[in-house]
Structure 1
Amino acid sequence: MQNKHKKKICIVSRSLSEGGADRVAAMQSIFLTDLGYKVFIVTVLNSIKYPYKGELLNLGEIKEQNDTFIGRLKRLLIFRKFLNKNSIEVIIDHRVRSKAFSEYIISAFIYPKETIYMIHSYAIHLFFPPNKWLTKLLYKKSKKIVCVSHGIENLVKESYDFKNLKTLYNPIDFSYINQLKQEKNMESSPFIFWYGRLDNEVKNLSLLIASYQESLLSKKGIKLILMGNGKDKSLIENKIIKCKLKRYIKILPFSINPFSYINSSRFTVLTSRFEGFPMTILESLACNTPVISVKYDNFEDGVINHKKNGLLVDNHSISALADAFNTFVEDEKLYNHCKSNAKISIEYLSVDRIAKEWQNLIEA
Structure 2
Amino acid sequence: MSQRKNIVVLIINCLQGGGAERSVLSLGQGFHEIGYQVHIIRFKPLVEYDLNPRLNYHLIKFKPYKLIPSEQLRHKLFARKLDRYILEKIGQPDIILSNLQRSDSVVAYSSLPNITHIIHNTISLEYKFNSVKNINHVRNKLINTYSNHPCVCVSDGVKRDFIESLGAITPITTIHNPIDQSEIQQLSTAFVPKYNNYMIHVGSFKAVKCHNVLLRAYAKTNRSLPLLLLGQGKLQSEIEKLIIDLGLAEKVFLLGFQKNAYPYMKHAKFKILTSSQEGLPMVILEALAIGTPVISTDCQSGPKEMLPENNLMPVGNIDAIAKKMSQAIQNPEQFSVPFDAAYLPHQIAKKHIDFMNSVS
TM-score normalised to the size of structure 1? Answer: 0.84
Give 1:338's aligned residue.
335
Q: Structure 1 residue 130: deviation in Å?
A: 4.8
1:175 to 179, 182, 190: 182
CA contact (8 A) 2:123 2:162 kept: no
2:193 to 183, 186, 191: 186
2:354 to 336, 360, 363: 360
Give 2:221's aligned residue.
215
Give 2:315's aligned residue.
315
2:9 partner SS:
strand
**Whole-angstrom CA distance in 2 between matches of 1:45 and 1:288:** 35
CA contact (8 A) 2:285 2:339 kept: no
**Whole-angstrom CA distance in 2 between matches of 1:198 and 1:6:** 42
What code does the residue aligned with 2:161 have? L
Q: Structure 1 residue 299: deviation in Å?
A: 4.7
2:281 to 275, 278, 283: 278
RMSD: 2.8
2:101 partner SS:
coil
CA contact (8 A) 1:91 1:111 kept: no
**Whole-angstrom CA distance in 2 between matches of 1:294 and 1:30:** 30
**Whole-angstrom CA distance in 2 between matches of 1:299 and 1:361:** 21
What code does the residue aligned with 1:193 have? I
Give 2:344's aligned residue.
350
**Whole-angstrom CA distance in 2 between matches of 1:87 and 1:152:** 32
**Whole-angstrom CA distance in 2 between matches of 1:140 and 1:124:** 16
What code does the residue aligned with 1:46 have? P
Give 1:93's aligned residue.
98
**Whole-angstrom CA distance in 1 between matches of 2:107 and 2:181:** 35
User: Does 1:146 pair with 2:140?
Assistant: no
Give 2:55's aligned residue.
54
Give 1:206's aligned residue.
212
CA contact (8 A) 2:155 2:302 kept: no
Give 1:30's aligned residue.
29
Give 2:327's aligned residue.
327
Cα gap change, 1:359/1:76 in structure 2, threshold over 3 Å: closer, same or farther? closer
What code does the residue aligned with 1:95 have? L
What code does the residue aligned with 1:192 have? M
CA contact (8 A) 1:11 1:91 kept: yes
Give 1:305's aligned residue.
308
What code does the residue aligned with 2:97 have? I
Q: Structure 1 residue 15: deviation in Å?
A: 1.8
Give 2:117's aligned residue.
117
What code does the residue aligned with 1:265 have? A
Measured against aligned partners, the alpha-carbon deviations of 1:327-352 in whole angstroms (never above 9, x if no partner) come to 1122x3xx33433xx2x242332223
Q: Structure 1 residue 290: deviation in Å?
A: 1.0
What code does the residue aligned with 1:107 have? A
User: Does 1:288 pair with 2:291?
Assistant: yes
1:263 partner SS:
helix
1:178 partner SS:
helix
Task: Could you tell me which runs of 5 or more consecutive residues in structure 1 were left unpaired when the two chains were aligned.
Answer: none
**Whole-angstrom CA distance in 2 between matches of 1:295 and 1:68:** 38
**Whole-angstrom CA distance in 1 between matches of 2:212 and 2:205:** 11
2:58 partner SS:
strand
Q: How many residues align?
A: 340
**Whole-angstrom CA distance in 2 between matches of 1:69 and 1:155:** 34
Q: Structure 1 residue 285: deviation in Å?
A: 1.1
Cα gap change, 1:67/1:97 in structure 2, threshold over 3 Å: closer, same or farther? closer
Q: Structure 1 residue 257: deviation in Å?
A: 1.4
Q: Structure 1 residue 148: deviation in Å?
A: 0.6
Cα gap change, 1:76/1:189 in structure 2, threshold over 3 Å: closer, same or farther? same
User: Does 1:155 pair with 2:161?
Assistant: yes
1:31 partner SS:
helix
**Whole-angstrom CA distance in 2 between matches of 1:314 and 1:166:** 27
Give 1:69's aligned residue.
67
Relative contact order: is structure 1 or structure 2 higher (C-alpha 8 Å, sep ≥ 6)? Answer: 2
Q: Structure 1 residue 163: deviation in Å?
A: 4.1
- Higher alpha-carbon deviation: 285-294 or 51-60: 51-60
User: Does 1:81 pair with 2:75?
Assistant: no
What code does the residue aligned with 2:99 have? H
Cα gap change, 1:251/1:59 in structure 2, threshold over 3 Å: closer, same or farther? farther
Give 2:133's aligned residue.
none
**Whole-angstrom CA distance in 1 between matches of 2:296 and 2:102:** 28
Measured against aligned partners, the alpha-carbon deviations of 1:275-319 in whole angstroms (never above 9, x if no partner) come to 111101111111111111112222574211134xxx211221211
2:8 partner SS:
strand
1:248 to 234, 251, 260: 251
Cα gap change, 1:67/1:225 in structure 2, threshold over 3 Å: closer, same or farther? farther
TM-score normalised to the size of structure 2? Answer: 0.85
**Whole-angstrom CA distance in 2 between matches of 1:30 and 1:349:** 13
Task: Could you tell me which runs of 5 or more consecutive residues in structure 2 were left unpaired when the two chains were aligned.
Answer: 130-135
**Whole-angstrom CA distance in 2 between matches of 1:210 and 1:125:** 24
